[in-house]
Structure 1
């Protein structure tokens, strides 16, 4: 990747961060800005694009595929692809969702957040299309994140509450050493962010590290099915922007972006273009205007957005 592309990516990231109330990373931004005269120009250009798109910034981290004629995919091919995708939606998606419904103690649908106080005084907030199960015993307080995202403000361990608070997500466990943290269960990985105080993360799998990392406020990590852990610095305001109906995508693939948007959409969203799914997207989006976001993505990447009654959105 060239220096110019790196600077362009960094500028887009800073535009996103600057939109967070209070701009908590301002000092670091000033250091970045003064490090190279090209940084200021790139930031101004990214900011202008932000304004032009009326509050939505998009970035493609790799060149899009060659422009295609709209005639290369006849209507019957599009319809065929949609029909084939419905088999997967009905055969696999419905069975997974049914199991989650059976297990869940608390769950939400698209367009719905849920604030809930647990018997121990812990307060949790569920994101759209999320579900958790609860298991409180004499030895521990355990919350299993079945799907979606949860913000936890855990009642601390003290003289009256000796049981540790643990969130289980996929092949990992997050143990509260303080109060609040955020856990997001994506399609292939789990993201954990410490908001106040600390959390300890344990994973299982062939790539599980020997140590159990402890996150302090402003630190985050991602672990996958192999148990491997990647840590990074992340503003808690960015990690929890979803609580204010804002979706912040940071260099995710188009496939991952669709999965995130699907969580906030009443209608299904399917990506039928496998090559396009590898494109990288960053931006801040309105969680309550999913159709507008999809139309913008389709226009920027020369994709075709098809909306069918009862069946939802298809990007091809």
Structure 2
């Protein structure tokens, strides 16, 4: 297990996977390394469910942090091609968080939930000693649909085109530009462009638009970014992925922020960036549709028989631990 960040595939397989409670027939997709969601069969309908930690970085301002936190959680159901419909949330708040600060975050989450038709079903809210920002609890997102509508995370097929939305490292750029603007050593215009990248985390609308095409797999490029996510997609589907680094789109401010903090944009968290295996006949039409919604996207590679992820013939490995964690600790210690 890495010192920071989510566990790797080996730890999951050896320590977590053998101990998943009762083996029930209604669990159609259960826990798997690198898979964003599970699926239950409830009366013939698919109940898609995903759980994520809640992060409220004070440096973002609590209103913006609340929306940011919910968008990250909602993505893991949306990538199944199913609209998120319900939210269960547990807040374990640090003692220093004021009522007003929590209210700002919660109202922002409520606003975003209403935009998407998501209802809060249950929750728990309390302050506890020993809790520290930014990690303040967890949320579970639910969505209901037909089983045949679910886009499986391991569904990439030989012959698919690989489409990537938003571009790499937008989340990382947004977080560092917002929390450490003066430490980056960048001009004000570039910092502002980086800060705007936090809005790119919202991707429910993008995922649901992609579900209207012949999309075979979707994955949100969270910890370890595009490179880690592609390795997870390729491994779960048993296919080979070849990418062209020059084909990626990069949002304004991303490369400059990543250069400033010394990370590879392909290896750092980028929630809201969707990795999509899609029928090549639909790929360009999907790019056009996303562009109409204001989301840049590009076809950056292909899926074929084989295994692994390759760039110019060189195999790319899973980063293991997201490099942005170390950069975050370094910048935070300098404040």
TM-score, normalising length: structure 2: 0.29
Flag the structure with larger Rg: 1
Higher relative contact order (CA 8 A, sep 6+): 2
More helix as a share of residues: 2
TM-score, normalising length: structure 1: 0.31
More strand as a share of residues: 1
